[in-house]
Structure 1
Amino acid sequence: MASAAVRVPAEADAAAGFRGAMRRLASGVAIITTKGDDGPVGMAATSITSLTMEPPAVLVCINQSAGIHSCLAPGCPIGVNILSRHQRDVSAAFGGAVAREKRFEVGQWVPDRHELPMLDEAQANLTCTVFSMTPFGTHSIVVARVDAVRLSERVEPLIFQDGGYL
């Protein structure tokens, strides 16, 4: 049985149609961390992907209005914490449900070699260095080299789609 297609007019409603299309794309959830002037800062991100294996690198898209954005620059360390299914509370906290200064009180955090907070029990933790930042529209495309990886034995990703978790 075929589903009915909804046609979205070009240009004027392209943004609304695009938002609807992207809500249909399931994504893993990660917490991006770095150092701020007053301590660690972090945000939840679903727009993260592997970029290359040689050298190991990831791509993260970060809204320029996000508090973490002003703390990022080429050469700075960042942490990428890929969440497990049981870490919905961490995702919600870093997605805005908890005030910025209290976010690191949710979940168990341990420092990496750069003193960046890394989430214990995450599926994976990546210690990275920002290589480049390219502005595009409302966001910056951040390319980061992966310097170190810590993996959990279990693979149970936290998946986000259409405003909720699967």
Structure 2
Amino acid sequence: MASSSQIAADPADVTSGFRGAMRRLASGVAIVVTRGDGALVGMAATSITSLTMDPPALLLCINQSAGIHPCLSSGCPITVNLLSRHQRDVSAAFGGAVPREKRFEVGRWENDGHGLPMLDGAQANLSCTIDSMMPFGTHSIVVARVEAVRLSESVEPLIYQDGAYL
């Protein structure tokens, strides 16, 4: 059995401990895309989960300091592209390694019904509309209704944990 450390109660220790705990949580990587001021905007995200099956909906947590955040609002269309293991370069590009105006040059993209890009070869592409947003701390909790889904034949997700890909 693994040993455990002392429980943190001091707020600074809880924050540090929480950060360490979340680094241990493995997550799939997705690219969230929308349009803002006439240009495409996208970001890499790991804080995405299913919310309900009826209606089909996702929950996304987006940092309010993220470049995409000002472009998001109720009624806004977005695509959520769940990355495949071979798409580390796309994740890196949308994670900040490539300037915003050049990010969509990485990977092959095609438009969904809203005219937003969907990444070819992703595990899944979800065309959504934002239903609601709620601020919480440094982030906004975004509820997005899923309107269309495209699935890949293979199941080989890109997984991120403790600052690295698995």
Q: TM-score range by the shorter chain?
A: over 0.9
Q: Which ranges of structure 2 fall in alignment gaps of 5 or more residues?
A: none
What secondary structure is seen at the aligned counterpart in 2 of 1:95?
helix
| Structure 2 residue identity aligned to 1:66 | A
Aligned to 2:76: 76
Provide the rounded CA distance (Å) in 1 between the counterparts of 2:91 and 2:65.
Answer: 19
| Structure 2 residue identity aligned to 1:53 | M
Compute the displacement of 1:113 (Å).
1.2
| Structure 2 residue identity aligned to 1:5 | S
What secondary structure is seen at the aligned counterpart in 1 of 2:6?
coil
Aligned to 1:122: 122
TM-score under structure 2 length normalisation: 0.97
Aligned to 1:64: 64
Provide the rounded CA distance (Å) in 2 between the counterparts of 1:99 and 1:14.
Answer: 34
Provide the rounded CA distance (Å) in 2 between the counterparts of 1:3 and 1:74.
Answer: 45
Provide the rounded CA distance (Å) in 2 between the counterparts of 1:15 and 1:99.
Answer: 31
Compute the displacement of 1:15 (Å).
0.9
Alignment of 1:83-162 (within 5 A): 83-162=83-162
* Greater mean deviation of Cα atoms: 8-17 or 31-40: 8-17
Moved over 4 A (4+): none
Provide the rounded CA distance (Å) in 1 between the counterparts of 2:74 and 2:92.
Answer: 28
Q: Which ranges of structure 1 fall in alignment gaps of 5 or more residues?
A: none
Provide the rounded CA distance (Å) in 1 between the counterparts of 2:115 and 2:38.
Answer: 14
Task: Count residues with an aligned counterpart.
Answer: 165
What secondary structure is seen at the aligned counterpart in 2 of 1:79?
strand
Compute the displacement of 1:3 (Å).
2.4
Compute the displacement of 1:38 (Å).
3.7
RMSD (Å) for aligned C-alpha atoms = 0.8
Identity %: 75
What secondary structure is seen at the aligned counterpart in 1 of 2:40?
strand
Cα deviation digits, residues 76-117 of structure 1 (max 9, x gap): 100000000000000011111111111111111111111101
| Structure 1 residue identity aligned to 2:3 | A
TM-score under structure 1 length normalisation: 0.97
